[in-house]
Amino acid sequence: MEKIIVEGGNKLNGEVNISLAKNSVLPIIVASILSPNDIIINNAPILEDVVVLSDLLTGMDCEIKNDSNGNLKINTSNIKESNMNSELIRKMRASFLIMGPMLSRFGKCKISMPGGCNIGSRPIDLHLKGFKLLGAEIEIGHGFVEAKAKKLKGNRIYLDFPSVGATENLLMASVLAEGTTIIENAAEEPEIWDLANFLNSMGAKVTGAGVGKITIEGVDSLKGISYTPIYDRVEAGTFMVAAAITNSKITINGANEEQLRPTIEKLKECGVKFENIKENVMLVDGTGTKNSVDIKTLPYPGFPTDMQAQMMTLLAVTKGSSIITETVFENRFMHVAELVRMGANIKIDGRTAIIEGVESLTGCEVKATDLRAGAAMILAGLVAQGKTEISDLYHIDRGYVDIEEKFRGLGANIYRVDK
């Protein structure tokens, strides 16, 4: 079994290069189903989630090639709906995003119900409500969801909650629909803007993405393009917390200040200093005393749930009491038990965690209980006394490219072993 070993205590210094955003690349890969022409995603991060999605599309007779420059070339002209591998669909929740583009292209799509996952039940009701409003008939049975519509027709869709996945699925379904679609209370995450920008570069007519009310004028076809997605704001945020927790100063190449604002503002409240050296390059000064802070996770531009575990780790070793309220996912505190094993003083009451900062953590065997919780364990390991051994690395590999190499480049004592 592979493990990441972190020997705590090293300060970090130097520069780290952030990869492009997983949460942009996944919807962009499935959106390439909307055009029969070549799509090139420049510098695509080859993460486990990208590999799973590529395998799914390859199994459906699409061509996906990774060239030597790290670009992903996709051609879906021969795609076959019937060859969809249910096991791969169930492996990754984001694969449900295939529904929108497939329904749009084939007028039908039958797909295995996405499984629950360890951070919450993650229903798909908002996706389905939207497809119905676009004229699709939906049937659920025997573990599958089937949607059918001869031709999708634009409509006004109000989302009860600004779900990222539902917004993306409906956006992709409506770019080739007849007429105008309006998605209200749409998610505003930067990755939504990125997907809309990608679709517009292909010839779609999408306005308002990133500001809550998206208007889509259906077009007849989309062309092939080459596209560079945005940087991964969660990876950048993880390294910002790393600078803070190790009392270090580091430079982050690939940090968009605006997209990272919710994380940066909270870290500033903690006492971390930032300097935007040039576009997408930030100097993070995590030296000096830190303050305890309260955090509530919310849809963007609120504080991201994907940064909650990492911030909790910082607060676990910050003097004073902090309160974190998780409002996005109902079960996203699995890392608390692991942090407590390392000596943290954290109590959970429903969706709230009360953190009393301790002087230090001690290294031990811990698990990556989900993707961001795994990153949080690495952060804890960086400051813990002695050795931290992290298992269940598949969670971490789903969303971080070369994470231990990147931390080693900054001076951390971290390595992967197979034992």
Binding site for ligand UD1 (CB under 6 A): 23, 26, 93-94, 120, 122-127, 161, 163-166, 187, 305-306, 328-329
Q: Which of 223, 216, 260 minimizes the C-alpha distance to 238? A: 260
What CA–CA distance (Å, rounded) separates 354 from 120? 20
Cβ closest to ligand UD1, residue 251 vs residue 305: 305
Residue 22 labeled ligand binder: yes
**Closest approach of Cβ 77 to ligand UD1, in Å?**
25
Residue 192 labeled ligand binder: no
What CA–CA distance (Å, rounded) separates 57 from 108? 17
**Closest approach of Cβ 263 to ligand UD1, in Å?**
13
Residue 306 labeled ligand binder: yes
Residue 125 labeled ligand binder: yes
**Closest approach of Cβ 53 to ligand UD1, in Å?**
10
What CA–CA distance (Å, rounded) separates 65 from 210? 31
Cβ closest to ligand UD1, residue 306 vs residue 338: 306
Indicate the SS3 state at residue 274: strand
117 is known as an active-site residue: yes
Residue 122 labeled ligand binder: yes
**Closest approach of Cβ 246 to ligand UD1, in Å?**
25
**Token pair 């749930």: residue:** 305
CB count in 10 Å sphere of residue 360: 11
Give long-range contacts, CB 8 A cutoff, 24+ apart: 141-148. Answer: 143/112, 143/113, 144/110, 144/111, 144/112, 144/113, 145/99, 145/110, 145/111, 145/113, 146/108, 146/109, 146/110, 146/111, 147/99, 147/103, 147/108, 147/109, 147/110, 148/103, 148/107, 148/108
What CA–CA distance (Å, rounded) separates 368 from 378? 9
What CA–CA distance (Å, rounded) separates 312 from 323? 9
* Whole-number Cα distances in Å, 302 to 33, 107, 132, 349: 32, 36, 29, 22
Helix orientation angle between 99-106 and 125-133, rounded to the nearest 10 degrees: 20
What CA–CA distance (Å, rounded) separates 258 from 189? 11
* Marked catalytic residue, from 109, 117, 270, 364: 117
What CA–CA distance (Å, rounded) separates 223 from 200? 10
Residue 23 labeled ligand binder: yes
Question: Residue with the closest Cβ to ligand UD1?
Answer: 165
What CA–CA distance (Å, rounded) separates 333 from 32? 35
Burial class (CB within 10 angstroms; exposed 0-12, middle 13-18, buried 19+) of 209: buried
Cβ closest to ligand UD1, residue 144 vs residue 161: 161
Indicate the SS3 state at residue 366: strand
**Closest approach of Cβ 418 to ligand UD1, in Å?**
28
**Closest approach of Cβ 92 to ligand UD1, in Å?**
8
Helix orientation angle between 233-245 and 261-270, rounded to the nearest 10 degrees: 10
Binding residues: 22-23, 93, 122-126, 306, 328
Binding residues for UDP-N-acetyl-alpha-D-glucosamine: 93, 122-126, 306, 328
Binding residues for phosphoenolpyruvate: 22-23
Catalytic residues: 117
